[in-house]
A and B are shown apart, each in its own frame.
Chain A
Amino acid sequence: MTGENNLLEVKDLKVAFNMRQGDVTAVNGVSFQLQRGKVLGVVGESGSGKSVSARTLLRIEAPGKITSGEINFCSPRHGEVALQKMNTTGELIRSIRWKEIAMIFQEPMTSFGPMHTFGNQITEVLILHDKLNKADALQKAIESLRSVGMPRPEKVITQYPHQISGGQRQRAMIAMALACNPEILIADEPTTALDVSTEAQILEVLAERQRTLNTSILYISHNLGVVANIADEVMVMYLGKVVEHAPVSELFSSPKHPYTIALLNSIPKIDKVYNGQRLEVLTGCIPDPYNHPAGCKFHPRCPKAMKGICEQTEPIQQAISDNRSVACHLYTSSINTNR
């Protein structure tokens, strides 16, 4: 149940896409909780279902369909609501979108309409949700832009998306997402298309927002370094499932799931001298979405796969301490005692 600190609770969420070649379950039984004022990082390769999970929270998962599971959101205005039951075009979800749960999309280039000025696009949400008049909305849009470190916001609101750089556009996107002071901010790879220096600045803006206004952030990224910097907790996803969930420092200091370990090992480290040494590589690639392996979905790539176990039964996510869980047979007590 959601409550004082639990703003959002996702239980066994499954989202499927009905494709010509067959059904694809992009999100396959994901559960997590988002606490007030915390940052939950979601990590995984492309195709792991991280973006679909996030979009489902806003109910913009179409053409995907929720096949089972619950999304309970503790709305400040509507009380506890079950998002999965909502009509995706209904009044209720529309009043929650952007006002209570906002999203920063990955591509700042394509997520703004090219035919409208930033002023128009940002004031639109303010006029719609906060019922402001045009002049007040414009004022608030300027403030919002300033709060994310946009230089000359008075000028930017008269400009069109093509007139400013990618980094600035992403700032404008954040300003727009934060304009209505949402409870939850979903950031789907917000810095992937940006330079490292801009990335650091954007991360600082988000961290500051979380500190000062206690906004909860669901931060999706494939960049482990970025997640290590911003998140309080991290959820590692593989093929639509959560394979490991842990507080950030524990995940990076002692990863448990072989997939997490392999991911961490495969990134070149800036502080390491390589001297001709090779990177440890995660062999193979993400399997065909129409044809998932049986048993543990990671077993064909897993260096620690156990014969007779991993390809037979799928491990379930189990708590290994108060705040960590992992879905791997290596940590399943019943099997360990059998061996």
Chain B
Amino acid sequence: MMDPTKKELLLEVNDLCMHYSVQGGFFDKSKGLVKAVDGVSFKLYKGSAFGLVGESGCGKTTTGRLIMKVMKPTSGSITFYDNKLGPIELVPISNKKMRPLRKKIQMVFQDPYSSLDPRMTIQQIVGEPLRAGGRGELHEYKNKIADILQKSGLSPDYMDRYPHAFSGGQRQRIGIARALVTQPQLVIADEPVSALDVSVQAQILNLLKELQQVFDLTYLFIAHDLSVIRYMCDTLAVMYVGRIVEIGRSEDIFHHPAHPYTEGLLSIIPRTNTRTKPGKMLKGAIADASNLPSGCYFHPRCPHAQDICKNEYPPLRDLGNEHQTACHFDLKLKGI
């Protein structure tokens, strides 16, 4: 847990939008704009872990990729507060200027099978970010690679093996070592454990937490599994069709969810101690981003929807303690 009195900004995302235009025709889709990410803002503080949760298609992965500058956002700003260079606006800078910054923002991917090149040795895979970012040759980095492999829970003896020789959990450790070898300040982890077995999931989650302390890392943790987010993150944002519907500290959101969508997500998680009550189920499917409902995007699935929800999209409003929600109503006041 970080000390709230000395919060230092690392990343500020402001009104980030990623809109795609749909050409239409071929796959029976109407022409129009798909707003994959639509006005997302949040702040990441040093040493914290920030979670992005939502169903598939809510824009959480796109948000992560925009920060990585894999693609250029339609609008909005992403400010990275470097510990030496000060604040840098990431959106307008060229790929060339981005290169030295890539060392500082790294990513851990979901699928440990497709994210490692099968024709590179572990040494080459883990050394690649160093080689790409610097001028040296691979052998000069050998000690660094061995060190990070050790810290990620792998024996450096295996450095010359290829990915196929490793299990899913070990591969994910390699992916983590690759992300951390450049000593980044920010690590974006996109569903890092959802492809793993339960027992291995726990090992990787513990490793990520441990490494966070060792290297003083900041995580942007993208996941659909709320229990994983609860374990890893101190603040989180719940996204629905490209927008943040609720944002705040983990304990506030898990104890007093303010948005009916968050409440629904929490209620349907299969628990080992109780049986889900079918009445509380989240009905329907995520709204079609190319054909959005009027008003609040969630209203067709919302159990508390009123007339106002069909007409107006609710703005994010403050509930105190940095807890914000985009809902017209106060769940607590309604006694729901």
- Contact residues of A with B, CB < 8 Å? 45-46, 163, 165-168, 195-201, 203-204, 222-226, 228-229, 252, 262-264, 266-276, 278-282, 285
- Measured CB to CB, the closest approach of chain A to B120, in angstroms, equals 23
B117 at the interface (CB under 8 A from A): no
Which of B84-92, B98-106, B273-281 lies at the interface with chain A?
B273-281
- Beyond A167-B285, A200-B268, A200-B281, whether A45 also contacts B1 by CB under 8 A is no
Contacts of B231 in A (CB 8 A): 268, 274, 279
Known: A223-B270, A226-B270. 19 other contacts (CB 8 A): A45-B200, A163-B28, A195-B55, A196-B265, A197-B285, A199-B268, A201-B281, A201-B283, A203-B276, A223-B198, A229-B271, A267-B202, A267-B227, A268-B205, A270-B254, A276-B1, A278-B206, A280-B202, A285-B200
- Among the listed A272, A273, A281, which residue makes an inter-chain contact with B202, where contact means beta carbons less than 8 Å apart? A281
Give the top 8 A-B pairs by smallest Cβ distance, nearest first: A225-B270, A266-B202, A268-B231, A282-B199, A200-B268, A270-B227, A279-B202, A268-B227
B211 at the interface (CB under 8 A from A): no
- Measured CB to CB, the closest approach of chain A to B297, in angstroms, equals 14
Complex-state Cα separation, A119 to B271, whole angstroms = 36
Complex-state Cα separation, A263 to B200, whole angstroms = 10
Contact A224 B272 (CB under 8 A): yes
Complex-state Cα separation, A267 to B27, whole angstroms = 40
Complex-state Cα separation, A285 to B204, whole angstroms = 12
Contacts of A273 in B (CB 8 A): 251
Contact B199 A200 (CB under 8 A): no
Complex-state Cα separation, A223 to B270, whole angstroms = 9
Complex-state Cα separation, A222 to B202, whole angstroms = 14
B144 at the interface (CB under 8 A from A): no
- Contact residues of B with A, CB < 8 Å? 1, 27-28, 55-56, 167-169, 197-203, 205-206, 209, 224-228, 230-231, 251, 254, 264-266, 268-273, 275-276, 278, 281-283, 285-286
- Measured CB to CB, the closest approach of chain A to B166, in angstroms, equals 10
Contact A224 B198 (CB under 8 A): yes
Contact A222 B275 (CB under 8 A): no
- Beyond A200-B276, A270-B230, whether A281 also contacts B281 by CB under 8 A is no
- Among the listed A45, A269, A280, which residue makes an inter-chain contact with B198, where contact means beta carbons less than 8 Å apart? A45
- Beyond A229-B270, A252-B272, whether A262 also contacts B278 by CB under 8 A is no
Complex-state Cα separation, A276 to B231, whole angstroms = 8
Complex-state Cα separation, A134 to B183, whole angstroms = 64
Complex-state Cα separation, A223 to B27, whole angstroms = 35
Contact A263 B199 (CB under 8 A): yes
Contact A264 B272 (CB under 8 A): yes
Contact B197 A45 (CB under 8 A): yes
A–B complex contacts, Cβ < 8 Å, 8 sampled:
A195-B286, A197-B268, A200-B270, A226-B270, A262-B199, A268-B231, A276-B1, A279-B202
- Beyond A45-B199, A224-B272, A281-B199, whether A198 also contacts B226 by CB under 8 A is no
Contact B201 A198 (CB under 8 A): no
Complex-state Cα separation, A262 to B169, whole angstroms = 17
Contacts of A198 in B (CB 8 A): 55, 285
Contacts of A272 in B (CB 8 A): 230
Nearest residue in B to A272 (C-beta to C-beta)?
B230
Complex-state Cα separation, A285 to B282, whole angstroms = 36
Contact B272 A225 (CB under 8 A): yes
Complex-state Cα separation, A198 to B281, whole angstroms = 10
Contact A195 B56 (CB under 8 A): yes
- Measured CB to CB, the closest approach of chain A to B63, in angstroms, equals 17
- Measured CB to CB, the closest approach of chain A to B202, in angstroms, equals 4
